[in-house]
Amino acid sequence: MTDKTVQHALHGGQFLTFVSGDELFAVDIMQVNEIIEISALTRVPKTPDFIRGVINLRGGVVPVIDLTAKLGNGLSDLTKRSCVVLVSIERNDVQQILGLLVDEVREIIDITDDHVKPPPSFGDQADTRFIQAMAQVDQLFIILLDVSRILEQHEIEQAGAIAEQLSDSVPQAAHSNH
Amino acid sequence: MDDLTQTFIQESEELLTQMEDALLALEDEPGDEEQINSLFRAMHTIKGAAGIFGFDPVVDFTHPVETVLDQVRSGGRALDDELAGLLLQCKDHTAALVEQITGVGEIEATLLADGYTLLEQLTGQVQAPAVAADAAQEGVVEQEPVGPPHWLITLKFHPDALRNGIDPVSFIRYLGNLGDVVDLILHHDQLPGSDAFDPESCYLGFDIIFHSDASKQEIQAVFEFAEDDCDIRILPPAEIECAFEQMMDELPDDHTQRLGEMLLAVGAITEHELTGSLQQQTEQATAEAEAPVLPVGHILVEQKAVSRELVDKALDKQQKAKQKASHEASLIRVDSAKLGRLINLVGELVISNAAVKLRVEEQGLGELSELVAASEHLVEEIRDNALQLRMVQIGDTFSRFRRVVRDVSRDMEKEIELVITGGDTELDKTVVEKITDPLTHLVRNSLDHGIEMPQERLRAGKPAKGTLSLNAYHDSGHIVIQIRDDGAGLDATRIRAKAEAIGLVKPDQVLTDKEIYQLIFAPGLSTKDKASNLSGRGVGMDVVRRNIDALRGIIDIDSEPGTGTTVTIHLPLTLAIIDGFMVSARGERYIIPLSMVEECVEMEATAWQVDEDRRYVNLRGEVMPYLSLAEFLQIPHCHDDHRRESLVIVRIGHHKAGFVVDTLHGELQTVIKPLGRIFSGFRGISGSTVLGSGEVALILDVQGLIQAATAQMQLH
């Protein structure tokens, strides 16, 4: 992690907290568009597990990410309390809306700057780039998410490449057979 | 940039395109007067308009060109190939000038120098900047003044003018602030004999030639105080006159507009003149009830406020506008963003109508279903009409290549004729915009690599003149575009050698010629031994293919050594709303564009000789690959698996394949929604749509799936 993101991470503010798996997460409320009930999810073939699918948001199609699966803890179960937190991210100057599938939405809390700590090292295995910082509030540890890094470009490309391999196991050019 | 400048730019572009078209048409039919006139008009109008805006460099350049064209028009100079070539360059240069002057505001020295060289070639005279240019042109017979135009101002002071404190001289002197008084003629014919002469009366009239950029209104304002004591006529100079005419052409067609209003709108008359003439008209009407009332135009011409030509033109336009208004085929220019919004709304309407339909079916409301069916029918019609609004003919895109073909054949000393057919085939404007680049590349490729040099052609027993044909037609919901040349054809051996060299195919791989031809779309493959200035501009055939893929189209290549190459592109007509066919596999629903569905049959191993290992079916003698959607899309097993599978046969161009699905749901209108950039890398899915239930269903990328199915069949 670069120095710049560390500095950025150490700012407090108002955060929306929610539970996914056994963890408590928080997202800067300025990045949260809305919270909606979970509606019918449509699976997209050949995508990584943590992309749970797409939903219809007032006529637009929005991808939904399963945070638990993203952390490598298996798919989260859909319950009555499951929600989709819609966040807007900016990628290459293009605004995009992303849904985060969470088990339960908690509350909006104030986190002061001095409660924000840089994230600890989790070793090499865990993919933790989307963890912006940790915060300690009332003896609880909260993971502050950097939503813009939940879906890394290379992951998308990787996933795309896997799909390509599956469909293009021989040279594409040789597809015509008449 | 203000609206007027914008209009100037647009109009110049249109005129220059006309000029180019005319020049190219003249090559086929030399001496066509209509085209020569159109050439002259283009230059003349641009010069006039540029003069109004004070874009002197444009005027300076277009003027000599216009002079040459005038000579051509009058038969004084023949329009040979060389001149036509020069004129095409002049057209390009004018475009560059217009672009720079409206953008940067001034012209770069290099561009100016280019212009002088061009004019030198054109007129055979040395064109030097500024002053020298005037001197050099003195010998030219027809010499229109360049620079600020000349006005003719006629003043006739009333006898009481002096008594009312009006001093004619002071006005004329004040005119000097707006421009130069070039010449002045004194009219003293009203002067009485010495005995009747009243020194306090004014008997004088003046004709003033006035050199100025000021508008008529501004000049009129000079004489504001003298209006009551003086008859004032301000006649515009010829150039302004033609500008007026041009502006008259540009006036929106409004059949309710009165003649006076039209003249006022272009600035040919002032408000004062108009009210004056209208008043005169009324007075006349009341004074001589019997006599026919003179039209306003007549009065204005009589008062010398405007020229007869302009009035005639305005009347003509008024007449045409009236006719047009009564004619149904009147055109309206609409912002394309507005159309986009309309189409989006229609899309939402389609979805919400589907929702209503679904609810009615669920609730079993029999009497409502008829109403729903009626509204569905209407929505479908609205959808078709809305999409039709964005349809444009492909002919304009094709015509652009006339110039390319011409230039290339000149450059490479080849003789090539361009044949265009099916130019009236319509397709979505957004598709047209995206197809131009790949088409250009394909055309250049054909010109460069396809068609041989004349000597070579003759040796091969073909006519020296090569033919490149562009063709378009509709085929089952697709538009098909063909680029065909009668050149040497593709060299399969060479392509194969290159492909092996870069490791694209293995030396022992068996490929048909057609498969080898397809290799030219693979990245990194180029059979060019040396790059020419035509190809090697950065767009390879792989990019062409990617562009076509992005449009959900398909590109095919067919070649016969010695007789030519044909590239066929299949494109969907629209990117917005399609008729879809919904199927499901293991409970997941997918949409196949209906236009690609050939037929649906039951998946019966015995009936179709299904070969499960090699993955093909024999459908009434036709062997085609098939794939199971559930397997290919890795759909997880669910409890309601059932065995009655169906086979959906899809086709794009010549490519066919079968998809195995569980359930056929039937047709539905499908509003295509982008699936978002994060899914852009996936083959097999081309987009998504929202169903009546609010769920999202994915649209299958039929082309990708056919390729996959074919590949699977070959693997086994």
- Number of residues written out for chain A: 178
Instruction: Please state, in angstroms and rounded to a whole number, the distance separating the CA atoms of residues B470 and B443.
Output: 9
Kindly report, residue by residue over B346-404, the tens digit of the pLDDT: 888 888 888 888 888 888 888 888 888 899 889 888 888 887 888 888 888 888 888 88
Instruction: Please state, in angstroms and rounded to a whole number, the distance separating the CA atoms of residues B208 and B186.
Output: 9
Instruction: Please state, in angstroms and rounded to a whole number, the distance separating the CA atoms of residues B132 and B149.
Output: 20
- The percentage of chain B sitting over the pLDDT mark of 90, rounded to a whole number, equals 3
In sequence order, the β-bridge partners of residue A142 are A135
Kindly report, residue by residue over B199-245, the tens digit of the pLDDT: 788 887 887 877 777 777 777 777 777 777 777 777 776 656 666 66
Give the E-state strand segments of B219-300 in sequence order: 230-235
Q: In B466-618, which residue ranges form alpha helices assigned H by DSSP?
A: 492-501, 513-518, 541-550, 605-608
Q: pLDDT tens per residue, chain A (178 residues)? A: 444 444 454 677 899 999 988 888 999 898 899 999 887 888 888 778 888 888 888 777 888 988 888 877 778 888 888 899 999 887 767 778 889 999 999 999 888 888 888 877 665 555 667 788 888 888 888 888 888 777 765 555 544 444 444 334 333 333 333 3
The reported pLDDT for the residue numbered B240 is 61
| CA of A121 vs chain B CAs: smallest distance (Å) | 28
Instruction: Say if the Cβ atoms of B504 and A168 lie within 8 Å.
Output: no
Matching residue, tokens 């995508």: A47
Instruction: Please state, in angstroms and rounded to a whole number, the distance separating the CA atoms of residues B497 and B488.
Output: 18
Tell me: pLDDT of B432 over 60.
yes
| CA of B668 vs chain A CAs: smallest distance (Å) | 17
Tell me: pLDDT of B279 over 80.
no
Instruction: Please state, in angstroms and rounded to a whole number, the distance separating the CA atoms of residues B507 and B494.
Output: 13
Instruction: Say if the Cβ atoms of A59 and B673 lie within 8 Å.
Output: yes
Tell me: pLDDT of B420 over 80.
yes
- For A20, other C-beta atoms within 10 Å of its C-beta total 24
What sign does the CA torsion over B84, B86, B92, B97 have? negative
Q: Does B679 touch chain A (CB under 8 A)?
A: yes
Kindly report, residue by residue over B479-509, the tens digit of the pLDDT: 899 999 888 888 888 888 878 877 777 777 7
The reported pLDDT for the residue numbered B536 is 44
Q: Which CATH class is domain A3-162?
A: mainly beta
Q: Which residues of A touch B519 (CB under 8 A)?
A: 171, 173-174
The reported pLDDT for the residue numbered A17 is 92
Instruction: Say if the Cβ atoms of B682 and A174 lie within 8 Å.
Output: no
Give the full edge-to-edge strand order of the sheet including A140-145: A104-111, A13-20, A23-28, A140-145, A131-137, A116-117
Instruction: Please state, in angstroms and rounded to a whole number, the distance separating the CA atoms of residues B514 and A176.
Output: 7
Kindly report, residue by residue over B299-326, the tens digit of the pLDDT: 777 666 666 777 777 777 777 666 655 5
B522: nearest CA in chain A? A173
- Own/partner pairs, B549-555, CB within 8 angstroms, 24+ separation: B549/B703, B550/B434, B551/B431, B551/B434, B551/B435, B551/B575, B552/B686, B552/B701, B552/B703, B553/B478, B553/B703, B554/B652, B554/B653, B554/B655, B554/B703, B555/B521
Chain-centre distance of CA B381, in angstroms? 28
The reported pLDDT for the residue numbered B309 is 72
Q: Does B654 touch chain A (CB under 8 A)?
A: yes
Q: Which CATH class is domain B392-572?
A: alpha beta
- Pairing status of strand B577-585 against strand B588-593: antiparallel
Instruction: Please state, in angstroms and rounded to a whole number, the distance separating the CA atoms of residues B614 and A168.
Output: 17
B347: nearest CA in chain A? A59
CB within 8 Å of chain A, chain B residues 319-348: 347-348
Instruction: Please state, in angstroms and rounded to a whole number, the distance separating the CA atoms of residues B59 and B667.
Output: 61
For residue B710, which of B549, B518, B524, B550 has the smallest C-alpha distance? B518
B429 is written with which tokens?
């404007």
Most confident option among A142-151, B253-262, B436-445, B679-688: B436-445
The reported pLDDT for the residue numbered B58 is 84
- For B103, other C-beta atoms within 10 Å of its C-beta total 11
Kindly report, residue by residue over B238-268, the tens digit of the pLDDT: 656 666 666 666 665 555 566 676 677 666 6
Instruction: Say if the Cβ atoms of B715 and A157 lie within 8 Å.
Output: no
Instruction: Please state, in angstroms and rounded to a whole number, the distance separating the CA atoms of residues B132 and B127.
Output: 8
A58: nearest CA in chain B? B694
- Pairing status of strand B655-661 against strand B622-628: parallel
The reported pLDDT for the residue numbered B111 is 82
Instruction: Please state, in angstroms and rounded to a whole number, the distance separating the CA atoms of residues B654 and B518.
Output: 14
Please give the angle made by the CA atoms of A59, B679 and B358, to the nearest 5 degrees. Answer: 30
CATH architecture of B577-715: Beta Barrel (2.40)
The reported pLDDT for the residue numbered A89 is 83
Identify the CATH number of the domain defined by range B150-326. 3.30.70.240
Instruction: Please state, in angstroms and rounded to a whole number, the distance separating the CA atoms of residues A138 and B36.
Output: 87
Query: Which of the 8 DSSP states describes residue B611?
Result: B
Instruction: Say if the Cβ atoms of B711 and A164 lie within 8 Å.
Output: no
Type of residue numbered B35: Q
B581: phi then psi, degrees, rounded to nearest 5: -125, 120
B166 is written with which tokens?
């009006």
Kindly report, residue by residue over B66-108, the tens digit of the pLDDT: 888 888 877 778 778 888 888 888 888 888 888 888 877 777 8
Instruction: Please state, in angstroms and rounded to a whole number, the distance separating the CA atoms of residues B346 and B383.
Output: 6
Q: What is the mean pLDDT of residues B577-603?
A: 87
Reported as a pLDDT band with limits 50, 70 and 90, residue B30 is confident
Q: CB neighbours of B167 closer than 8 A, spacing ≥ 6?
A: none
The reported pLDDT for the residue numbered A161 is 44
Tell me: pLDDT of B422 over 70.
yes
Of A63, A156, A163, the CB nearest to B683: A163
CB within 8 Å of chain B, chain A residues 90-149: 91, 94, 96
Q: Are B473 and B480 in contact (CB under 8 A)?
A: yes
Reported as a pLDDT band with limits 50, 70 and 90, residue B567 is very high
Q: CB neighbours of B668 closer than 8 A, spacing ≥ 6?
A: B354, B579, B580, B581, B582, B591, B691
Identify the residue among A37, A46, A70, A158 best suited for mutation to test binding to B, counting B beta carbons within 10 A and taking the highest.
A46
A72 is written with which tokens?
């490598």
Instruction: Say if the Cβ atoms of A42 and B695 lie within 8 Å.
Output: yes
The reported pLDDT for the residue numbered B343 is 82
The reported pLDDT for the residue numbered B144 is 42
The reported pLDDT for the residue numbered A176 is 35
Q: Are B566 and B558 in contact (CB under 8 A)?
A: yes
Most confident option among B72-81, B251-260, B446-455, B631-640: B446-455
Q: Are A174 and A88 in contact (CB under 8 A)?
A: no
Angle between helices B81-103 and B109-123 (to 10 degrees): 150
The reported pLDDT for the residue numbered B133 is 39
Query: Which of the 8 DSSP states describes residue A121?
Result: P
Helices and strands: H and E segment counts in chain B: 24, 21
A160: nearest CA in chain B? B681
Determine the 3-state secondary structure of B104 from DSSP.
coil
Greatest distance between any 2 Cα atoms in chain B: 128
Mean pLDDT of all residues belonging to chain B: 77
Tell me: pLDDT of B581 over 90.
yes
Q: Of the given ranges (B50-54, B119-123, B386-390, B574-578), which has the lowest mean pLDDT?
A: B574-578
What sign does the CA torsion over B576, A86, B591, B364 have? negative
Q: Which CATH class is domain B3-139?
A: mainly alpha
Instruction: Please state, in angstroms and rounded to a whole number, the distance separating the CA atoms of residues B70 and B44.
Output: 10
Kindly report, residue by residue over B145-185, the tens digit of the pLDDT: 445 567 778 777 888 778 777 777 777 777 777 777 777 77
